[in-house]
Chains A and B, each alone.
Chain A
Amino acid sequence: MTAAGVPGRLSAVTDRLGDRTRFGLIVSLGYVVSLVVFGVFVAFKGAGAISVYHTIISSTLLNSDALQQTVLRAVPIGLAALAVTIPARAGLVNVGGEGQLIMGAVAATGVGVAVGPHVPGFVSWIAMCLAGAGLGAVWGALPGVLRTWLGASEAVTTLLLNFVANDIMLYLIYQVWKDPNGSGQPQSRPLAHHAQLPKMFGSQLNIGVLIAVAVVALTWYLLTRTSWGFQLRVVGGNVEAARRSGLKVKTLLLSSMMAGGALAGLGGAINLAGVETQLRPDITLSFGYVAFLASFLGRQKPILVVGSAVLFSAVALSGNGLQLNDGLDGTIVDVLLALIVAVPLIVAKYRKRAS
């Protein structure tokens, strides 16, 4: 294994450094290598590596419109990533962010279209967000119950429920909620204008972004500063020890799945009520799976996870710029995303050694 040899040779140089510093160096080197590999890949497709990275940064961060788009996409990805993180701290694997996002968007559409026209805006904003979080929590509770009471692996049931959620959404779009004025497009009726989440300060950012920031802060607090968060970590660390010290393991596991589902559902609702304004197929664009990888990259630490979500949001968005400026296929950004996530996987062994 060549990569195993590299740190071996490196260790001669870095022996005097502390384990953590050495690990930091290896990781940084890993990211540099993955960026170089992507540069070589785009060069094969006839684009310049420097130009490509310039496009990625300028089309996602450097102009105000683009930055706002990055933030808007980071909301569903970030909340769905925390939906992975919360159960992960209790040792559960939630691959169901996609389905939970979808059900959040479905609930928000149902509520928004039904009551939106008849009530003042702020009532429908609250109702949509609560409905999204509520149905998301239910969608997280299902695999939670299957796991705690019946022993079915949540990694698998959450994955299956993504497809069920998607089929439910498609059924609603094509049949029950089909927009009669949609000129054949499969989509639901749009939300009434006043029912949509309002934009702030003349920007494209809607108040959902503020809600998301508040929820992220709350999640960070709950996970790191409360006994609930602590107990989740105890369960995640050693379930037997947790049980013997009298913790209600099943309740804790279930609550983590429901909290996660609620966050992802809220993310789906905000994305729908603030950005999309009507339900259509492919509304999630695999955000739920990207979110899983963001949570993994952020090592289940809330702040790092949200940072990773913003990064992946930018990477996903940069596909448009690469298509326009560098003549590349927009999907090429999936390769970059994969190369970034490969780094922590490849160095996983050294982390175990360093900590």
Chain B
Amino acid sequence: MNGIEQTLIGGVSGGTSILLPALGELISERAGVINLGTEGAMLAGALGSYAMTQSSGNIWLGIAAGIAGGALVGLAHAWLTVRRGGDQIASGLLLWFLALGVTSVYGTSYVGTVITPLSNIAIPGLHNIPWAGPILFDQDILVYASYFLVGIIWFVFYRTRVGLTLRATGERPEVVAATGGKPQLVQIAAITIGAGLGGLGGAQLSIGYVGNWFNDMTSGYGFVAVAVVLFAAWRPVRVLAGAYLFGIVLAAASVLQAHGVSINQYLLDAMPYLATLIVLALFARRGRSDTPEALTRSLSRSGT
């Protein structure tokens, strides 16, 4: 196996820990609410799934607990921002601190423990495809789930009535209300489901990619997910590309070092953020129309 292949395998696997929360963030932002609490949802999902997997020995229950943990954080964000009209950034940050505190307190006893992590399942036939096979089709079950999720989310967004209502809510909630829809309900559902995916991403990290729990283990992946959504200009397939880009860069550093190439890991780490900034700078004017309008309004009060 050469270095490039190694990097890409790690990029897809690690990128999935970013892709899942990014898809969740995408749903939330398409409904007009930014959720910096995604980082907190990931932490809750990571610990929830790890603890459940360990106590029940059943990895499926673990996955369910991860989703539930994330969704709980999302529900709190939905209540604070949609129902109580609170500031979205402040709410997201406070839920991050809350999750950080709670998971550290309850997670300490799981540090250094062992579970049987998700195993890789080689898809018969497909994993023999030269080059692409081992990268895409010899991964764990949550990686495969993420492929389907991208498709499902794309389909729901652009081919169903639910998706239309969701996107309309993100643009003009008052129009949705005027036509008899319930924009608040749509937003609450979107935030909760989105954060549930954040929790699933945390689960993929703790019981999949890393196979371990340690305090603050998401170390900013949730914020990376927010960056990916912007990089992708709120499009599902581009979210997939963006998440793998981040994943590949993260994986590249360790592979390069293993091959004795002296490149500084931290300069490499900064690249995806710089790429996102450049994308934002170049396309912000044109991308204005891409940004869900309700999101623009809640993010900034002075429109220039």
Q: Contact residues of A with B, CB < 8 Å? A: 1, 4, 45, 90-93, 95, 146-148, 150-157, 159-161, 163-164, 167-168, 170-171, 174-175, 235-236, 239, 249-250, 253, 289-290, 292-293, 296, 328-329, 331-339, 341-342, 344-349, 352
Contact = CB atoms under 8 A, between A and B. Distances in A.
Contacts of B266: 167-168, 170-171, 174
Interface string B173-187: 000000000000000
Given A92-B300, A163-B270, A167-B266, A345 B86 contact: yes
A159 B224 CA distance: 10
Given A164-B273, A174-B266, A349-B85, A148 B108 contact: no
A328 B102 CA distance: 12
B281 interface: yes
A283 to B, nearest CB: 15
8 contacts: A153-B296, A154-B300, A170-B266, A293-B93, A331-B215, A338-B97, A344-B86, A346-B80
A292 B90 CA distance: 7
Contact of B264 (A148, A175, A289): A175
Nearest to A238: B302
B87 A348 contact: yes
A1 B215 contact: no
Given A250-B304, A342-B80, A334 B284 contact: no
Interface in B235-294: 264-267, 269-270, 273-274, 276-277, 280-282, 284-285, 288, 291
A148 B36 CA distance: 24
A345 B84 contact: yes
Contact of B100 (A155, A331, A342, A346): A331
B227 A334 contact: no
B94 A93 contact: no
Nearest to A331: B104
Interface in B216-234: 220, 223-224, 226-227, 230
A292 B98 CA distance: 15
Contacts of A347: 84
Contacts of B301: 91, 236
A146 B84 contact: no
A337 B40 CA distance: 14
B304 A253 contact: yes
B84 to A, nearest CB: 5
Interface in B107-164: 108
Contacts of B94: 293, 337-338, 341-342, 345
Choose among A249, A342, A349 the residue with the greatest number of B CB atoms under 10 Å from its CB: A342
Contacts of B265: 174
Nearest to A146: B281
Given A164-B273, A236-B301, A292-B90, 17 more contacts: A45-B105, A153-B300, A161-B273, A161-B277, A163-B223, A167-B269, A168-B270, A170-B269, A239-B302, A239-B304, A249-B302, A289-B93, A293-B90, A296-B90, A329-B108, A335-B102, A345-B84
B303 to A, nearest CB: 6
Given A159-B226, A338-B101, A150 B267 contact: no
Contacts of B273: 160-161, 163-164, 167
B284 to A, nearest CB: 4
Contact of B91 (A159, A332, A345): A345
Contacts of B108: 329
B59 interface: no
B230 A345 contact: no
7 interchain residue pairs of minimum CB distance: A334-B101, A91-B302, A345-B86, A338-B98, A335-B101, A331-B104, A167-B270
Contacts of A249: 302, 304
A290 B285 CA distance: 32
A6 to B, nearest CB: 13
Contact of A349 (B84, B101, B277, B303): B84
B210 interface: no
Interface in B167-223: 215, 220, 223
Contacts of B303: 239
A210 to B, nearest CB: 30
A248 to B, nearest CB: 12
A328 B270 CA distance: 36
Contacts of B285: 150-151
Contacts of B72: none
Contact of B105 (A159, A160, A331): A331
Interface string B51-62: 000000000000
B89 A151 contact: no
A171 B97 contact: no
Contact of B280 (A93, A95, A156, A236): A156
Given A93-B89, A345-B91, A346-B84, A335 B98 contact: yes
B104 A171 contact: no
A335 B76 CA distance: 14
A299 B101 CA distance: 24
Interface string B32-71: 0010100000000000000000000000000000000000
